[in-house]
Structure 1
Amino acid sequence: MAGIDVKELMEEEDTQKGKFLTFSMESKMYGIDVRYVTEIIGIQPITEVPELPGYIKGIINLRGKIIPVMDVRLRFKMPFKEYNDRTCIIVIDIDGTCIGLIVDSVTEILSIPEDEIVDPPEVNKTGNNYIKCIGKVGNEMKLILDCYKLLNDREI
């Protein structure tokens, strides 16, 4: 019987540390820790489900697995934008819960050194519930999302 190679698992975890999948919405750049990302797919037919919050667009069938999809623009109270060929669904897994995040477009996977990641400013804590930290990349800033807060809302 083959055992689990703990050293290999730890090395895999280390290679993902400090790596973020970045995407854009409006003119802002956001990031998600790559540890949570399982895949990126194009927009698909979405089946609406009644009585869900407006930002939950419905469900998709991904190779036989039913996954709810959230329009991140609507979650952030941005205006709805028609989906196009750049629109993507980022499928994430948070502690066994899979959900698709609809974003305007995916840009790249970035490595951000730990010393270039800072906490969000304390200006208005209610306005940045979903921002875990800010990654500084050259002169640009990437808003790193807290996937747990994005998903663990009382409404879902």
Structure 2
Amino acid sequence: MEFKTPLLTIEDPDNLHLCFVLDNKTYALNAKNVLEVTTLPLINEPQKLPEYIVGILNYNDMFINVIDIRKVFSLTQKKYELSNKIIIIKGSESLIAIIVDEVTDFFTAHPSKIQRVMGESFNNIARTFYKLNDEVVNIIDLDVLEETIKKAHFEENTTNYSELFPQDEEALCVLQKRRNDIAKIPVMTLDAAVYGKDQYIVFHLNNHTYCVYSLFVKELINVKNYPVTKIPYTPVYINGIINHKGNFYTVMDLKKFIGLEDKNSEIHHDDLSDKKIIVLESSELKLALLVDDIVNIINIAKESMEVKNDMALDNMFIQAEAFIDNQVYNILNIDKLINDKRLYVDNSN
């Protein structure tokens, strides 16, 4: 179910709402914020994510957080099914996706008939309701939903969402195909104001927090799901190669390449199972960066970045620094990285 044309072409778009269902109760979102509705795909789960976040979805070459709206509303957790729907929403700050039981219909909510909920309801996210054919429809306040998710950003997620997905091989193949289709087929042109916000993948190397610009990133994966084949007579920073979707990628230990000491190198010398991989692909090479953990996806405006003429930072492949919420984010110099002569074999002789 895709919206091939902008919903703004519909009469009275400001009051048009999309209905969805959770546990036989009906909720609604303002339709002008809805980019797409699709069936449940396989969700990337590269690491422990903050509260409410199931994982990450590649949509229109943008990485967006997938939210368990059921948990946000403190509803009883239940396993996902192939029939579940994903609603991709354009918020005021970013794109998000929510998992719902089903999507039912559109309706126009006449402002004079929208009523206020007395007291707190669904964490104060559904503060108004509308009576539609004798049915109560709870209307989601998207700004409050975004703020609730943002506040939970530093809370550790206590739910193992991977256990909630179908586990049989046939279902996993269906979910995988859906994920690939969403990633490779744009369904509409994104709003310039949203697309213009620079998204960065945040990852850890020891105690350092790095970011890589998302447009360079093809996918985020767990090492434990992809056996690394070692190659003899390669530099110490090359772990081997992986076969990912029929393509071979060189696995490079970013800490060793940069020159950071691995604190756990003596204890778990060959155990990479807890590591994460950031898959990069350019016209020159296919590279899988081995990192300690992938922790978040954030927007960093160019005005927040500070470029420093510091040789020490340059040696650590830091292009700039961003200071957000009392934390320093090191922006990875991806151009310097992929053009480093150590990644190429000299065939001149």
Match of 1:72 among 66, 69, 74: 69
* Structure 1 SS opposite 2:104: strand
Q: Point out where structure 1 has 5 or more consecutive residues left out of the alignment.
A: 1-10
What's 2:144 paired with?
149
Q: 2:92·2:143 contact (CA, 8 Å) conserved in 1?
A: no
1:14 is displaced (CA, Å) by: 6.5
**Which letter maps to 1:15?**
D
2:129 maps to 1:134: yes
Match of 2:38 among 28, 38, 41: 41
Match of 1:112 among 96, 109, 113: 109
**Which letter maps to 1:48?**
E
**Which letter maps to 2:99?**
I
Match of 1:50 among 30, 47, 51: 47
Match of 1:83 among 54, 65, 80: 80
Q: Point out where structure 2 has 5 or more consecutive residues left out of the alignment.
A: 1-7, 154-349
Change in CA separation of 1:27 and 1:13 when aligned onto 2, cut-off 3 Å = closer
The structure whose Rg is larger is: 2
How many angstroms apart in 1 are the aligned matches of 2:47 and 2:28?
30
After TM superposition, the structure 1 stretch with the greater mean CA deviation from structure 2, 85-94 or 97-106, is 85-94
What's 2:339 paired with?
none
What's 1:61 paired with?
58
What's 1:3 paired with?
none
How many angstroms apart in 1 are the aligned matches of 2:22 and 2:122?
17
Normalising by structure 1, report the TM-score: 0.82
1:148 is displaced (CA, Å) by: 1.1
1:95 is displaced (CA, Å) by: 2.0
* Structure 2 SS opposite 1:131: coil
Q: Which has the higher strand share?
A: 1
Between the two proteins, the alignment pairs up a number of residues equal to 144
1:45 is displaced (CA, Å) by: 1.2
**Which letter maps to 1:104?**
D
Q: 1:136·1:142 contact (CA, 8 Å) conserved in 2?
A: yes
Match of 1:22 among 16, 19, 22: 19
Residues 66-103 of structure 1 show CA distances to partners (whole Å, capped at 9, x for unaligned) of 11100111111112222223211100011240000111
With a CA cutoff of 8 Å and minimum separation of 6, indicate the structure with the bigger relative contact order.
1
**Which letter maps to 2:39?**
G
* Structure 2 SS opposite 1:74: helix
How many angstroms apart in 2 are the aligned matches of 1:112 and 1:126?
20
Normalising by structure 2, report the TM-score: 0.39
Change in CA separation of 1:108 and 1:127 when aligned onto 2, cut-off 3 Å = closer
Residues 102-132 of structure 1 show CA distances to partners (whole Å, capped at 9, x for unaligned) of 111101111122222111113xx37541013
How many angstroms apart in 2 are the aligned matches of 1:24 and 1:121?
22
How many angstroms apart in 2 are the aligned matches of 1:127 and 1:63?
31
Q: 1:116·1:137 contact (CA, 8 Å) conserved in 2?
A: no
**Which letter maps to 2:108?**
S
How many angstroms apart in 1 are the aligned matches of 2:121 and 2:104?
28
Change in CA separation of 1:127 and 1:98 when aligned onto 2, cut-off 3 Å = closer
**Which letter maps to 1:107?**
T
Q: Which has the higher helix share?
A: 2
